[in-house]
Structure 1
Amino acid sequence: MELLFARNELNEKPKKVQLDKIKEDLSKDGQKIFYFDRDNSHKDMMSLVDALEADGYNVYFREIKYGLADEEYMYEVHAL
């Protein structure tokens, strides 16, 4: 599964990441907060949450609004 990390600047393209890399980062640190771009589908984000929970992590998922427009949001995934 390929996901997009949140952008640092509004006009730049989001960076891609594989599910294996996310799991590798979690195995090193034990817990981590990831921010994902709004271009990811909600279905893909739920698949990520399910995959991490299947590996035994507690996962907190939410949508973060950072502006007033409808498209000004990102996804936050906190895995413990």
Structure 2
Amino acid sequence: MDLKFARTDVASKPKKVDLAKLEASVEKDDSVIFYFDKENSHKDLLELQDYFEEKGKSFYMSEVKYGLADSEYMYQVHIIK
């Protein structure tokens, strides 16, 4: 499963990350917050939630609006050991 991190610039393309790198970050720290781009499907993020919850981690996800338009949002994911 490849996901896309949130853009750091409006004109740039989002950077991809695979599940192994996300898991390594979670194992390294007790609490990790990731910001994912709106191009990710909600279904993929729910699969990510299922994956980490099966491993006994707490998973919290929300949409973060950063502008007035409906299309100006990103996903915030907080994973806790």
Q: 1:55 and 1:17 mapped to 2: Cα distance? A: 19
Aligned to 2:8: 8
Query: Identical aligned pairs, as a percentage?
Result: 52
Q: TM-score, normalised by structure 1?
A: 0.97
Aligned to 2:55: 55
| Matched residue SS, 1:24 | helix
Q: TM-score, normalised by structure 2?
A: 0.96
Aligned to 2:79: 79
Q: 1:77 and 1:52 mapped to 2: Cα distance? A: 11
Q: 2:20 and 2:54 mapped to 1: Cα distance? A: 14
| Matched residue SS, 1:33 | strand
**Deviation string for 1:9-61 (max 9, x for gaps)?**
00000000001110111001121000000000000111111111111110110
The farther-off stretch of 48-57 and 32-41 is 48-57
Unaligned runs of 5+ in 1: none
Aligned to 2:28: 28
Q: 1:37 and 1:70 mapped to 2: Cα distance? A: 14
Q: 2:52 and 2:5 mapped to 1: Cα distance? A: 17
Unaligned runs of 5+ in 2: none
Aligned to 1:70: 70
Runs of 4+ in 1 over 6 A off after TM superposition: none
Q: 2:56 and 2:48 mapped to 1: Cα distance? A: 13
| Matched residue SS, 1:12 | coil
